[in-house]
Amino acid sequence: MGMWSIGAGALGAAALALLLANTDVFLSKSQKATLEYLEDIDLKTLEKEPRTFKAKELWEKNGAVIMAVRRPGCFLCREEAADLSSLKPKLDELGVPLYAVVKEQIRTEVQDFQPYFKGEIFLDEKKRFYGPQRRKMMFMGFVRLGVWYNFFRARNGGFSGNLEGEGFILGGVFVVGSGKQGILLEHREKEFGDKVNPVSVLEAARKIQPQTSAAKSK
């Protein structure tokens, strides 16, 4: 009888742990970025002779859509990159550029990511686009039903990847207006494969005023 009680208790504890792992109780809390925070981020080009510049150059004139990539080799990140890239014709019509930032450059990972992403990619060595408060999802992610749903969705979509690079620091997507217009959309990945809604991205991009128009309205 004692062994049965211990077994039942262990099963109950495991069920409770599984239940809690599928709520937001243990998820890293995000902190909203300010425009001033984003403007001051140092980025590098991925050329042989890299140029370092302030991130505000990306959106100063025409605004921008920016993906902070969790890991270029991740098939879930490639799926989201493809979703954002599907918006590029409409973004081009609006005059809004599409960019991505990565936190590391390993072998050919960025190069292999580029077929999925139709914009320029830059290096954020200090991982500041993943802040102000960096959030991580460790192995708990693999017991979340939402993550498994995302796995199957991406696999069924024909996406594949690898395990190269750091993949626990969560990414996100920003839509930033021109000049001082501000952050129009900030999507923080809450679990592996938590994609931004492309419709929301496009809606936010349509609110961007090119700097000349923004200046006239002041």
Nearest to 215 by CA among 90, 96, 60: 60
- CB within 8 A of 6, min separation 6: which ones? none
Query: Is 77 an active-site residue?
Result: yes
Tokens 């969705």 locate to: 153
- DSSP letters along 91-130, please? HHHHT--EEEEES---TTHHHHHTTT--SEEEE-TT-GGG
Contact status, residue 173 vs residue 65, Cβ threshold 8 Å: yes
Alpha-carbon 153 to chain mean position: 17
Is 196 among the residues known to form the active site?
no
Helices (H), 24-87: 35-39, 75-85
Nearest CA among 167, 97, 171 for reference residue 129: 171
CB 46 within 8 A of CB 105: yes
- Which one is catalytic: 58, 77, 169, 196? 77
Among the options 69, 74, 81, 185, which is catalytic? Answer: 74
CA distances from 93 to 18, 56, 118 (A): 46, 22, 15
Task: Indicate which residues carry an active-site annotation.
Answer: 74, 77
